[in-house]
Amino acid sequence: MKRVAMIIPFDTSIKGGVVRAVKSQEVVYRILGAEVETFYASHLDDVNLADYDLIHVHGPLKLGGILKVRRSGVPAILTIHGWVLQEALTALKTDPGGNIHYIFKIINWILHRLIFIRFIYRDRVTTVSEITKKKNRLRATVIPNALITDEIEGKVSECPDLQGDGVTAVTYTSIGGSKVLSIQRLAEVISEVNRKAGCRIRLLVFGESPEIEDDCIEFMGYRDDFLCHVRSADIMLLGYDMSELGYAVLEAGYLGVPVAKFRGEFEELQDDVHGIIAEDDSEMIEKLIRFIENPSKGPVWGEKLKEHITETRDPLRIADKWAMFLGDIMK
């Protein structure tokens, strides 16, 4: 049996989609017959990487971690989940003083592009979507995240009914990326919708985000009951045009919650089939008002989205893609 060491580069306190994606990747490796262990980069001093047959890194490691991978002599692959440079630049623009450390992340990414990807990873790189591949300017194999539905079912099995009055929309964000700047855009959309239709749609914002004064927007932070709120929502509202379906969107879709988003370059979803796909703010406002006036389409969209996600993110299907990518490494 092959042994795989997966490495998460960031701090253990950080939550979000990457951690859930890594957990789903553990399931994929077990489907492939491998034994897998996951470590945070800060704990690598206690790990002998030479004991493994494959090292799978989920993001840019700092120089110390890179050297540990190099000295192990073990084949290594790199998966990029986000838009590395853009997330760093956005963080610096949002809070230059508090996010000064992102300058080092930019330098580190430049070193990855120039040196590490070629000489440490031997160009064995994957991204979770076509848009992530393009935004990072990588020659990479695109393999979407698998969705582990048992875990979702477990988390929502004892959820209370959190449905409020009117229409409830949920969104999420994380420090650094386009999702942070999207909150202002969503706030303006929600404000205009409620101005025209009355305060009939409530937006719950999860994750780390600058707060905005609006009686119809609630900032929830990071919460363990996130999926309970998602399951009780009428729609997930996304304020960016990224076509990649993040883990939170996959979870929402599996729970039968449709998505309202702006059309992306490699758009995977269909308007009026999986939810609302708008070309611009005015179209989003118009379609949200129609949805508020006739929310019965929501469950129909949600069921179609669930079918799409269940088919395209099936762990067995994703495992086949990984088997092709890994080739002789896992034989």
Task: Give per-residue pLDDT as tens, 259-291.
Answer: 999 988 888 999 999 999 999 999 999 999 999
Q: What is the pLDDT of residue 185?
A: 84
What's the total number of domains in the chain? 2
CATH number at residue 284: 3.40.50.2000
C-alpha distances in angstroms, 215 versus 67, 185, 204?
A: 51, 16, 11
User: Are 15 and 87 members of one domain?
Assistant: yes
Alpha carbon of residue 330 to chain centroid: 27
Domain that holds residue 253: 154-312
User: Are 231 and 103 members of one domain?
Assistant: no
User: Are 93 and 176 members of one domain?
Assistant: no
CA distance 250 to 307: 11
Segment 8-26 shows an average pLDDT of 79
Q: What is the pLDDT of residue 172?
A: 82
User: Are 159 and 308 members of one domain?
Assistant: yes
Confidence of residue 64 (pLDDT cuts 50, 70, 90): very high
User: Are 20 and 115 members of one domain?
Assistant: yes
Poorest-confidence range of 11-20, 50-59, 126-135? 11-20
User: Are 160 and 306 members of one domain?
Assistant: yes
User: Are 308 and 319 members of one domain?
Assistant: no
User: Are 136 and 200 members of one domain?
Assistant: no
Contacting residues for 88 by C-beta, under 8 A, at least 6 apart: 102, 103, 105, 106, 109, 176
